[in-house]
Structures are given as structure tokens and as C-alpha cells.
Amino acid sequence: MFFLKSGNTAKIDWVFIAVLLVIMGCGIALVYSASAPSSEGVPFYGTYWFKQIIYFACGLVFAAAISLLKISILRYLTFPLYLVSLVLLVVVLFFAGDVVKGAGRWIDLGFFKLQPSEFSKIAYLLMISSWLSKHPVDFLKLKTFFVPGIMFLVPFVLVLRQPDLSTALVFTMVTLTCFFFAGLKLSDLFFFMSPLASVVLSHSLVSYSQFLWGGFICLLAFVLFKRRLPIAYTVIIFLVNILAGYTSSMVWNHLEPHQQKRVETFINPLSDPKGDGYQVLQSMTAIGSGGLSGKGFGEGSQTNLNFLPEEHTDFIFSVLGEQFGFVGCVGILFLYFLFLWRAMAICRMYTHPFVILVTAGACSIFVFHIIVNIAMTIGLMPVTGLPLPLLSYGGSFAMTCMILVGLLLNMRFHGDQLKG
Amino acid sequence: MRNSLNDGTETREKNYKVFIFLGLVWLAFCVLGIRLFYLQHVNYEDNFQRSENNRIRRVDIPAERGFIFDRNGVVLVRNRPSYQIVIDAQQLPRKKSGKDSVFRTLLNIRDASGVRMFDSASLDTAFQRTAWIRNKPIRIYEDASPEQVSVIEEHSHELPGVYMVTESRREYPYGTLAAHTLGYTGEISEEQLQKPEYKKKYSSGDVIGQKGLEQQYDMEFRGKNGSRVVEVNAFGRVVSEVSGMDAIPAEPGLHLVSTLDFKLQKVAEEAIPDSMRGAVVALDPRTGEILAMVSSPRIDPNVFSLKKKERNRGWAKMALDTTKPLVNRAVAGVYPPASVFKLVTAGAGVENGVLSKYKFYPHSCTGGYTYGSRYQKCWGVHGNLNVVNALRLSCDVFFYQAGLDIDMPRINEFGRRFGLGEELLGIDIPGERRGWLPDSVSFNERNKRSGWRWARGLILNLSIGQGQLVTPLQQAVLVGSLAMNDGVRKPHLMKEFRDSKGNVVKTFKPEVIRSGTMKKSTHEILLAGMDSVVNHPGGTGKRGALPGIRVGGKTGSGEWKKGEKTHAWYAAVAPLYAPEIAVAVILEAAGGGGAKSAPISKKVMEAYFFGDSVQVKPEVDVLDTIPVEGD
């Protein structure tokens, strides 16, 4: 390509780019199909699918521009970007410009509605990667967690206050992935997450909770035994888990009934037909009615009748499931996997931790969105409002995805500028 | 740090981590795939059927609207079931011939009296609407009688897609009784939907409280609709609940126990025939509780729960009526206070040391008073009087001179202390209008356009209550608080809210809204004046006297138009030295207050004090009575 030196042409991953373009094409087609009935009589430049093409086109230009930056410039910009994102998060928290669905998450710039939480995902990814590439974490040296912990908690709490739980969980996902690639072992991550698992598994609402939790504690003991951590670590981890398990039920019983109800409906949306439950039920029906091969493009009766209120944004996957069936769904999952696999290949090309962390972190953002969104549409996970990367309609999120793609390309092209 | 020795192991570890990462992603995708396989292959048939017929419906479970009771548990407002016949676009036969057969069958249905239930024009419109309103049923017959319902049910096998929906509608068992106070319900109007305070709470098509308590406490009455998801059969009838989805039960609205006393209300209603325009307010000055509130001419709020046609006819009749029956005169009627205002003039005079028991004016009443070039008449010839006797005989000449001495600012200040004036009393029904106590500034301000200017001569009129504006509610509050001399309590109609089980969830907290106090000497003189009006020979309010109870009051005859009879005012309080009830009565264009209005007040007070002997039985059994105090 013209903008790369001849030696760099080999670095272009045509498979990656092809997969990316195919998924984006699918996205536009699905948005077209989902919004066709509601956009009769609307001039083509006012339709959702056309806007989506514009967003993607802008995004591609942006991604290309980012891919050209020198990594040193990127690293130089990291800290200012992180600070700006924090300021924006504070601004949106206290001076919410526009209230969409009860949560003030936008700053209205007139021509564009800026969503600071989207922006902060990227800024945070760069920041934590930059820090961890210089200061790897070690499970046995707790002070190595201090600075990245603060870096994580500040935006996490700000986003949680919006309240936007799902974005906060994206931060968590990025952090865990980056810790993993910056020195933690798999078992360390397991220890990190074990108290949470204890809380969930010991919960009295979970069927067979005593067996599940008992089994989990046995597993924990086994892993602790194999890992041979210092005795203090072993004891503390074990105790924290036991405590978490016992207090979870106690705290639960102290909650007010309406708080309990709220948690229940979050975990199981089907128990609340007034809220998201109806939507999830319709989505599951739509996907299920697609069968193995689907009803064909533009043929979905559920989605065409607008039973799914937000099918072109969060529930785009149910349009796919209804019109293209199991084959279509698995096909998209396969494309996503191919996309992630090609992206992760960057990690194997270079050795500098910054490149590896940015790549893995960006992939983890994609993965989290994909899994949580699809699981939501098929009734496996709570309704959180995370869109499906490259398929869902929406300018802000399309931009986020394309910036992440830009970062991935950048790492691929310039990863050798940093010597590990 | 990193050296070449370590590089090998580090690369290996890194690749291992990439492998783990992708492996976990693969695992998660496999779980999604398995779930998809389960939905799309194993459960395909169920899901396909559901989606084909769109058999899943989310049905609202409407919440029962709360009732309104009087203070003793008599039901004033309740609900009745109302049957709607609807067609459902998705359950109608798809073929045109099938639709036509349903159409024809409906047209031929006759009710018990042999009249066709549907006319072809409106039925045709409804069928045409099915083309675009597909996800909710369309009503084709409103408020059907049980007989009509059974006729339709007999034909149900010929009528796929036609079924019955039960609604709950408001019923006012006593018809016009306290209609203005209770209000009525109706569909939210376009104008209301534009208003931000409505936009937040309601959506188009909602039936909401309009006017009166129904509007004021709509949110409390509404409760919360429940919801359930059901599967319906091809006829649109519910077959089963969808498994795995819980129904949310409706939360019934709260019951309002009002401060109204059914007995008093009934007596007051009967005292004013519907042909007269006027209002009665009875309240307890100790707490501000409204015991009875009548506005005549009356409306029947049941009209608003009828079929659309009858509803519109009833509405048009009320709206076009020149006597304005829709206005709640008790709070929204503004009248000159007339001679009742002399209490304020007298009070302000004594309070400021201008008047006393021993103060006589040089001009005795010879039937009029000359001020400047004008001669102002009195309604009689009274001679030379002190303030108490001037109140008793309602002598204008005395108050002309007193008014000039005291001047308006001091009089108005005294009036505002006891609830008169521009500030609303804040009663808990909408539509209360503000009164007006003019002085030179506000008079000029108000009459800017017409060019009238303030002149000192106007004090003559104002000091006898011609020129101010008050509502009947304000008059009742005024006499009550004058007799109390212990602060003005906010007048209110809400006593408490109870949930459907009868537990009290909210009670009204009395609130002092004006200072409502004066010197003891002033109080004594005013009490003596009010006493003499009713109980002394020659007192103008002697028809309001009640044997055995000391009543104090003041009459008034408000001039409002040359050649017309005066507005008859009477405001009274009893027992005078330990007030329990204050009553204000106005009859528009009826004549003298002492003659026309005082007897009405007497009846209300009689019912209050000797109500047990004056038996007034509710026509409707008090079956729905919820437990009252002490339970």
C-alpha cells in the first residue's frame, strides 16, 4: 500500500482486513433488514443503514489514520488522553447533557453526541498497557498492583456512578486481560476472581448451591495446594472465600424485598415481563424461529413486525438468528473468532509488552462485547445494553470499534519500532 | 530484567498465554453455539409456531383505582366493571371472505330488545383500522351490558378475533353529591399531554382523574398496573401463561378517606335546589378539615363513565350551560365579600386602637352618609352605634367612617392574617382561585387599562366589602379563624390514605398557613359582634340561630349588578366560644343573606350537632366500608 514502505507491505494482514470488511458488510445488511419496515418513505440518506455506512466509512478513515501513527507518539499521547477521559467522565456525571433511557451518559456537542464512557475504554486501555509494559505485576509483590489498581478504580467508579454497569465490567475485563499478559498466571486470575465466584455459587437462589460451592472450595484448595504460595497468601485467600460464601446469604437476607427483586430480575430478565423480560422472550423466539437455515433475508416476521423495539441496536443478533438461522449465527461466530485469532497473531510477531498488552486488551474489549451481547439475546445473560461490535447500529460504538481496529493495525505495522 | 537467556522461555510463555486466551474465547463461543443449537433446532417447532402466529402477548393487569370514602366510611366513589367488545387484527381470519363473514355476523347481531348492536359505518372503520393497528385490540362496542355480552358469547364460534375485555370504570353512587369536590375521570386530553408535568407521568390514552380529588390524588388512586405474558389461541383467547415468565400482580391504588361528612354533605346538598346558583362550605376551623362542600348547579360525574356518545352529549350540555355547572363555586367562585367583610374592618379598627366599645361616630346613621359630593346610602336607619351594634345591624354608615379612619392597608393586613387575599389557601383540589384585597397600589395596577384611578371615596365601598373578591372557602376560613384566634389551618379534604387491606399509609398533617391571631380585646369585641348578629334582637342573622348551641355569624348582601337581586352571603361559626364548625353559604342573586342563606347554614349546623336525631341514611349500603379509626 502506498503509505507503507515497501518492506512493510508484508505486514498487511489481508485475512484480517477481509474478515473485518465482511463483518461490517453483514452489519449494514442486518441494519437494512431490521430497519426497512420502519423507514418506508424515508429518503435513503435518512435511513439507518445509510447512516451506518457513513459511520463505518468515517471509522475506516480514522482507523487508517491511527494505524499510521508512530507508536512513540501513541505512547506520548497516552497519559493526556487518559486525563481528558477522566475529566469527561466527571463532566458527564455532573452535567449530563442529554438523558437517554434514564442515564445521563452523553455530552451533546451539537453535531455529535460524545459518549465519554466509550472514549474512556480506549484511553484506559492505552494507559494501563503503557504502565504495565514498564512495571509488570507480580502476584507475590502486592505493591505492583497499587498504581494500576488506582488507574482502574477511578474510571471504574465514575462509570459505575452513571450508572453504566456494563461499561464498568468492560474495564474489569481489560484489566484482567492485561494483568494476565503482564505477568499473572492463570491461577492468579483464578484467585482474584474466586471470592466473586464464592458469592454467586453459595447463593441460596442457585440450585444445589451447597454442592456447587462445596465443589468450588475443594477446587480452590486443590489449586492453592498445587500453586504453593506463601502460607499467609494461602490462608487469606481461603478465608476470604469462606467468608464471601457465608456473608453472601446473610447480606441477601438483609436486603429489602424490592432490592432483592431488582437483583433477581437483573439476573433472570424473564422474571420481569414488564421490563426487559418481554424483549428477551421475543428475541429468543425470533432466533429460535430461524431454525437451522433461517427464513431468508428480509423475511423475519418477528423483527419485521417491530416486536423487538431495539433490533437494529442491541438486538441485531436476533435479526441475524431469525433470517439466517443457526448457520448464519455460527458463521458470524466463526468470523468473529477468525478476526480475534488474526488480531492475536500480532502478539506472536513482536516481543515488546506494550504491543502485546494493547493487542490483547483491544481483543478483550471485542470479546466481552460479543459474548455479553449474544448471550443476552439468547437469554443466557442479563440485559445490559452492550452492543455487538461491527454489527449493531450506532455511531459512537462504531467509532470505538474502528479506533480499536486502528490500534490493532498500528501495532501490527509499527510493533518493531519498540524493542523488547 | 530481560536478557537473551530468558527470551526463549518468555516467548514460550507469551504464546502459551495467547493460546489460553483464544482457547477461552473458543470455549465461550461453543457455549453460545450450543445454546443456539438448542433454540434453533431442538426448540425450533415451538419457537416457529409462536413467531408465525405471534401468539405471545404481553397483557397489562390493570390496577384497581382507589375508592373515596367520607370520614365515617361511606363510599362516595367506587368502581364498576365495564365490558368492551373488541376485535383483534391478528386473530381475524386472514382471507377477505373470512373477514367479511365476521363483519356480516356482527351486523346481524341484535340485543334482547331486537336492536342492532353495531352500525355498518363504525364497524367498517374499525375493520379498516385493523390493517395498521395490529398489536392491540380495537374496541367496537363500548360499555356493553351483561345481556349484550352474553349475546356475543353465544356467537363466539362464528366470530374469530372478536372477544371481550373487562375494564373498570368509575361509579359515583350518589350521583351529583359532592360532584365538584370528588371530580371525575376521563381520557387524558391533548392539551394535558403537552404539559410537562403530565408528560412525565402519563401517556396518550390514559384515563386520569379530572378535576377535584380525582385529579389531585390521581397518582395515589392509580396504583400500578401489573403485567403478564400469555399465549393466545387462534380466537385471541388466552390459553396459557408462558412458562418461565412470572406475572407481576397489579398493585391496587390507595383508598382515600376524605374529611367530608356524608350526612352534612347530604343536608347541604338538599338545602340548595339545583335551580339556584351558589355554594356551601363547612369546615372544622380547629384542623382545617372540610366537612361539606357544595357547588350548585351540579354535575353528575357518572356521565363521564358512559359510552362515548352519551359522554360527549353530557359534556356538551354541561359546557354550554350558561350557569356554568362545571365550575366548583366553593373554591373557584369569586364574589364581593359584602357585609361579612365588616368583621375585618371592625377587627382592624379595634386591633389598631381606632375603634372600641365606647367609640361612637359623629355622624349617626340617618339612612346615608355624605362624602365629598357623594351621598352613600345605608340599607336602613340605625342611629348612633358602637362597633358591636354596628355589626349586629350591619350599619354601613358606621363602617364608612370607620374605614376612612383605619384606611385600607391596615384593614387588608388584618384580612390577610385570617386567610383572605391573593394568596391561595392551598386546598387539595385543583382550580382554587385567588381573592383580591385592593389598596391604592393594586387598584391602580389592576385598572390600568380602563383608566380608573384610586380615590379615597373608594374606601367607603371597600370598608363594607364591596370591591374585594373572596371565595366561599375563604369566607368560611375567615369566620372560623376569627372565632378561634389561634392560627389559620390549611383547609383540606384528604384525611388519610389506606391501602387495600385497610392500613393507614398516609395521614394529613395539619398546617398553620396564616398567623390568624389578634389581641384578646379585639377577639372579645368580634365575638360579641358575631354573637349579637345571630342571637340579639334585630340581629340580621337571627334565622341562623340554633337552640342549644351558641352560633355566631355575619350576613352579607353583595351588590353585583344594578337591578338584580343581591348575592346572599352568610358565614357562621359554632359553638362561638369553642368553635367546631364554620359554615359559609352564598346564593347568587337570591336576595338578603339573613333571609336566604342563614337558614341553610342552620340546617348544616343542626345536622352537625344533632345529626343522630336527624337520620340521614345512605341510599347505598355501607358494604364496602373499610375499617375506620380504632381498628
pLDDT by residue (tens digit) across A295-343? Answer: 888 776 655 445 555 666 788 898 899 889 999 999 999 999 999 999 9
The pLDDT of residue B570:
92
CA distance B508 to chain A (A): 27
Distance, in angstroms, between B212 CA and closest chain A CA? 31
Distance between CA atoms of B84 and B167, rounded to whole angstroms? 7
- Residue closest to B400 by CA, chosen among B361, B343, B455, B357: B361
**Residue B108, CA distances (Å) to B124, B158, B612 in order:** 14, 12, 57
Q: Which of B1, B12, B31, B51 to mutate to test the interface with A (most CBs of A within 10 A)?
A: B51
**Is the pLDDT at B129 greater than 70, yes or no?**
yes
Question: How many CB pairs below 8 A link A and B?
Answer: 135
- Residue with the bigger pLDDT between A104 and B584: it is B584
Min distance A6 CA to chain B CA atoms (Å): 28
CA atoms within 13 A on the CB side of B219: 6
CA B352 from centroid of its chain's CA atoms: 40
ipTM of the complex: 0.91
CA B445 distance to own-chain centroid:
32
List, as ranges, residues 20-49 from B with C-beta within 8 Å of A: 20-22, 25-26, 28-29, 31-33, 35-37, 39-41, 43-44, 46-48
Nearest CA in chain A to B18: A344
Tell me the average pLDDT across A228-233. Answer: 86
Whether cis (ω within 30° of 0) applies to the bond prior to B137 is: no
Verify whether the Cβ–Cβ distance A326 to B41 is below 8 Å: yes
Is residue A141 very low, low, confident or very high in pLDDT (cuts 50, 70, 90)?
Answer: confident
Mean pLDDT of chain B: 85
C-beta atoms surrounding B208 within 10 Å: 19
Across the range B403-411, mean pLDDT stands at 90
**Mean per-residue pLDDT for A165-190?**
90
For residue A273, pLDDT beyond 60: yes
SS3 content of chain B, % helix, strand, coil (to 5): 40, 20, 40
Rg of chain A, C-alpha, whole Å: 23
- State yes or no: pLDDT of B503 exceeds 50: yes
With CB atoms and an 8 Å threshold, state whether A291 touches B48. yes
d(CA A329, CA A378): 11
Instruction: Dump pLDDT digits (tens) for B207-248.
Output: 888 888 999 999 889 888 887 777 766 555 666 666 666 777
Taking residues A372-379, what's their average pLDDT?
90
Buried/exposed code over A151-173 (b: 16+ C-beta within 10 A; e: otherwise): bbebbbebbeebebebbbbbbeb
A348 and B54: CB-CB below 8 Å?
A: no
User: In chain A, how long is the greatest CA-to-CA distance?
Assistant: 71
Q: Which of A270, A289, A341 minimises the CB distance to B245?
A: A270
Answer whether A288 sits within 8 Å of B247, measured CB to CB: no
Q: Which residues of B334-371 are buried (b: 16+ CB within 10 A; e: fewer)?
A: bbbbbbbbbbbbbbbbbbbebbeeebebeeebeebbee
Q: Give me the residue label for grid cell 342611629.
A: B383
pLDDT at A202: 79
- Residue B121, classified by CB atoms within 10 Å of its CB into exposed (0-12), middle (13-18) or buried (19+), is exposed
Q: How confident is the model at residue B106 (pLDDT cuts 50, 70, 90)?
A: confident
Residue whose cell numbers read 373515596? B68
User: Tell me, what's the pLDDT at B571?
Assistant: 93
| CB-CB under 8 Å, B134 with A281 | no
- For B70, phi then psi, to 5°, come to -85, 180
pLDDT at residue B523, rounded to an integer:
92
**A253: Cα separation from own chain's centroid:** 32
Q: Report which DSSP code applies to B85.
A: E
Contacts of A351 in chain B (CB under 8 A): 7, 10-11, 14
Task: Give yes or no for residue A390 having a pLDDT over 50.
Answer: yes
| B505 and chain A in contact, CB less than 8 A | no
Residue B59: strand pairing partners: B228
- What distance in Å separates residue B56's CA from the closest CA in chain A? 8
CA angle B304–B310–B313, rounded 5-degree value = 95
Residue A391 and residue A339: Cα distance in Å, rounded?
14
Tell me, what's the pLDDT at A337?
Answer: 96
Q: Is the pLDDT of residue A170 over 90?
A: yes
Q: So what's the pLDDT on residue A100? A: 44
Asked if residue A177 has pLDDT above 60, the reply is: yes
pLDDT tops 80 at residue A2: no
Q: Does B6 touch chain A (CB under 8 A)?
A: no
The alpha-carbon gap from B66 to the nearest alpha carbon of chain A, in Å, equals 22
Give the pLDDT of residue A105.
Answer: 62
Which residues 111-140 on chain B approach chain A with CB closer than 8 angstroms?
134-135
Question: Looking at residue B151, what is its pLDDT?
Answer: 83
- Tell me which residues of chain A, numbers 107 to 146, contact chain B at a CB-CB cutoff of 8 Å: none
Low-confidence winner among B85-94, B400-409, B434-443, B609-618 (lowest mean pLDDT): B609-618
Which residue, B379, B425, B411, is CA-closest to B398?
B379
B625 pLDDT tier (thresholds 50, 70, 90): very low
Q: Is the Cβ pair B47, A292 closer than 8 Å?
A: no
Question: Which residues partner with B552 through β-bridges?
Answer: B573
Residue B58 clears pLDDT 80, i.e. is over it? no
Q: What is the largest CA-CA distance in chain B?
A: 128
* Rounded mean pLDDT, B188-207: 79
Instruction: Give which of A274, A295, A344 to mutate to test B binding, by max B Cβ within 10 Å.
Output: A274
* Distance (Å, whole) CA B189 – CA A67: 57
Q: Which residues of chain B lie closer than 8 angstroms to A299, CB-CB? A: none
Is residue A125 predicted with pLDDT exceeding 90?
Answer: yes
Hey, is the C-beta of B11 within 8 angstroms of any chain A C-beta? yes
Nearest residue on chain A to B242, alpha-carbon basis: A281
Question: Which residues does chain B have within 8 Å of residue A291's beta carbon, measured at their own beta carbons?
Answer: 40-41, 44, 48
3 state SS of B432: coil
* CB contact (8 A) between residue A378 and residue B39: yes
**B573 neighbors B535 (Cβ within 8 angstroms):** no
Report A:150-189 residues touching B (Cβ under 8 A): 177, 180-181, 186
A420 at interface of B, judged by CB pairs closer than 8 A: yes
Select the more confidently predicted residue: B319 or A171.
A171
**Model confidence at A102: pLDDT above 50:** no
pTM of this structure: 0.64
Q: What is the DSSP letter of A11?
A: G
C-beta of residue B123 within 8 angstroms of C-beta of residue B107: yes
**Stretch B100-113: mean pLDDT, rounded?**
82
* Interface membership of B15 toward A (CB under 8 Å): yes
Give the strand pairing for B567-574 and B581-587. Answer: antiparallel
Q: Is A285 in contact with B51 (Cβ distance < 8 A)? A: yes
Would you say residue B97 has pLDDT above 60? yes
Q: Is the pLDDT of residue A16 over 90?
A: yes
Q: Which A residues in the span 288-327 are in contact with B, Cβ-Cβ below 8 Å?
A: 288-292, 301-302, 305, 307, 321-322, 325-326
Q: What average pLDDT does range B491-498 have in this prediction?
A: 92
A106: pLDDT strictly greater than 90: no
Q: What percent of chain A has pLDDT over 70?
A: 86
- Nearest CA to B354 out of B391, B413, B396, B399 is that of B399
Query: Mean pLDDT score of chain A, rounded to an integer?
Result: 83
- Interchain contact, A285 vs B56, CB within 8 Å: yes
Tell me the per-residue pLDDT of B255-314, one tens digit each, with 9 for 90 and over.
999 999 998 999 999 888 888 899 999 999 999 999 999 998 888 888 888 888 888 888
Q: Does B244 touch chain A (CB under 8 A)?
A: yes
Nearest CA in chain A to B31: A375
The pLDDT confidence band at residue B188, using thresholds 50, 70 and 90, is: confident
Q: Using the predicted structure, report yes or no on whether residue B627 has a pLDDT greater than 50.
A: no
Residue A156 C-alpha, separation from nearest chain B C-alpha, in angstroms: 23
Chain B CB contacts of A336 under 8 Å are 29
What local confidence, expressed as pLDDT, does residue A403 receive? 93
Please give the average per-residue pLDDT across B191-202, as a whole number: 80
Chain B residue with CA closest to A419: the answer is: B2
CA count, 13 A, side-chain hemisphere, B494 = 28
Residue range B357-384: average pLDDT? 87
- A:66-95 residues touching chain B, CB 8 A cutoff: none
Q: Residue B207's pLDDT is what?
A: 83
Residue B134 pLDDT > 70, yes or no?
no
User: Is A102 an interface residue toward B (CB < 8 Å)?
Assistant: no
pLDDT at A204: 67
- The model's pLDDT over B414-470, given as tens digits with 9 standing for 90+, comes to 999 999 988 999 899 998 999 999 988 888 888 888 878 888 888 888 999 888 999
Q: Which residues pair with B586 in a beta bridge?
A: B279, B569
pLDDT of A178 > 90? The answer is: yes
Q: Please give the residue that has the higher pLDDT: either A180 or B612.
A: A180
Instruction: Calculate what percentage of chain B has a pLDDT beyond 90.
Output: 27
Query: A301 contacts in B (CB within 8 Å)?
Result: 51-52, 54
